[in-house]
Amino acid sequence: MSLGYAEKLSYIEDVGNVGMVEYFDPSHVLREKIDQLAIMIKKSKHLVVFTGAGISTSCGIPDFRGPKGIWTLQREGKALPEASLPFHRAAPSLTHMALVELEKAGILKFVISQNVDGLHLRSGIPREKLAELHGNSFMEVCPSCGEE
């Protein structure tokens, strides 16, 4: 049986603020922000994107500090939800794929990610254009030679 994401994590005593409220913009505000983002991307000469948990939650990978986040549930003494999908079977989201298209078009130059889910690589972002700040759950490095 394959482990879900939460089961792969080590227990951490102090995880900071948890149970953080999620805010959602009204549709007209969201539309305006999307239009502004499109203009900024068009004008960009060197687009770099920084991603975090939010890009992968729609793929079935939980966040940590949100209302239903892993650390929030642990702190509240609640059971972690059963993985709806084994971690290794999560597929990239539409957002991941949009970033790939921006990279292929030569617009996106680099992706910096806090995620360990490997979805940027699976989506097609080239390894040399990706920094995974916390590592990658699916990547191992040889302790002798450093080869991935």
**Distance, CA of 100 to CA of 117 (rounded, Å):** 16
Query: Is 96 an annotated catalytic residue?
Result: no
Tokens of 111: 């992706």
Tokens of 58: 């729609």
Do residues 53 and 115 lie in contact, with contact meaning Cβ atoms separated by under 8 Å? yes
**Distance, CA of 116 to CA of 52 (rounded, Å):** 9
Residue in 88, 96, 120, 134 annotated catalytic: 134
As a residue count, the chain comes to: 148
- C-alpha distances out from residue 55 to 79, 94, 95, 109, 119, Å: 24, 9, 7, 18, 10
Which run of H or of E encompasses 36?
Answer: helix 27-43
Residues with active-site annotation: 134
